[in-house]
Amino acid sequence: MHKDKRCFSCGIAKPTTEYYRSNTRYFQRECKECTKQRRSKWWRSPTGKLSSANTKLKARFGITLDEYHALLDQQGGECLICFAHLSVMGHRLAVDHCHKTGRIRGLLCKSCNVGIGNFDDCPERLRRAAAYLERTAPLDSLHSAERPEAQHTHKHR
């Protein structure tokens, strides 16, 4: 048998199954629906967003949001590889780090960060890829001139 309880926020009496427990004997003051709305509103607020970003940075990379912003200022707000500026990307720069040591190398745009990750952060593989692109560049221009449909349809960011 579930007893009704009046929600502190909405004022509606609801069965106790509609409330989160605050411990084994008692229930929270507001119903689950009001709790979800309040929490959702807070996480979307500037304070909630900062708290979330700070928590994620601390857990993943061991740095605070202030340290991230200091790095961003030090780099002039640009990706260290392609020099794309934060203001034209529409999202923040990714924290690039060594997966073996955890050491932070810098901030990169998503494309560059994923790109070097796809090469397992191996400088030699990246050099070979660059050499391949330079070696085949004349062939690419020759083929694309003959067959316009062979050109890539996606844009590089």
What is the rounded distance in angstroms from the CA atom of residue 85 to the CA atom of residue 75? 10
Q: Given pLDDT bands bounded at 50, 70 and 90, which one contains residue 143?
A: low
Residue-wise pLDDT tens digits, 81-127: 999 998 787 788 999 999 889 899 999 999 999 999 999 999 999 99
Q: Which of the following CATH numbers is that of domain 47-118: 3.40.50.11540, 3.30.559.10, 3.90.1150.10, 3.40.1800.10?
A: 3.40.1800.10
What is the rounded distance in angstroms from the CA atom of residue 132 to the CA atom of residue 138? 11
7 Cβ partners below 8 Å, 6+ apart?
Answer: 13, 14, 19, 29, 30, 31, 34
> Please, where in the chain does CATH 3.40.1800.10 lie?
47-118
Is pLDDT of 24 > 80?
no
pTM of the model: 0.60
Give the chain's mean pLDDT: 85
